Amino acid sequence: MTNLAARLCGEAKGGEILVSTRLAGEIEDIAETEELAPLTLKGFARPVPAMKLVRLKPGVSRRSDGGAGSQDGGGRGSHRE
């Protein structure tokens, strides 16, 4: 699966997030996705179905518990004493 994620990342245009149909199914309660035409990716014998992350669904907020990606740290490059 890591290879698929890397290939989808490589296909994404600036600001886009592409995900597998499997992941899209896992996040369907919190995110809206849009089906794309199957992508021809290096290392895959057949075209791969993919989805584009459109937005979080109303009422869903971004992670704010101090984990990676939040503004108050915890991620790479943060420093706490």
Q: What pLDDT was estimated at residue 47?
A: 97
Note the pLDDT tens digit of each residue in 10-57. 999 999 999 999 999 999 999 999 999 999 999 999 999 999 999 999
Token pair of 10, please? 């490589």
Cβ pair 9, 17 in contact under 8 A: no
Check pLDDT > 50 for residue 81: no
Instruction: Report pTM.
Output: 0.71
Cβ pair 10, 18 in contact under 8 A: no
- The answer to whether residue 79 sits within a structural domain is no
Domain extent, residue 37, equals: 2-56
Closest CA to 37 of 22, 18, 54: 18
Cβ pair 48, 39 in contact under 8 A: yes
- The answer to whether residue 81 sits within a structural domain is no
- The answer to whether residue 25 sits within a structural domain is yes
- The answer to whether residue 28 sits within a structural domain is yes
Token pair of 79, please? 């420093």
- The answer to whether residue 69 sits within a structural domain is no
- The answer to whether residue 51 sits within a structural domain is yes
Number of domains observed in the structure of the chain: 1
- The answer to whether residue 71 sits within a structural domain is no
One-letter identity of residue 10: G
Look at 1 and 22; give whichever has higher pLDDT: 22
Look at 78 and 18; give whichever has higher pLDDT: 18
Q: What pLDDT was estimated at residue 1?
A: 65
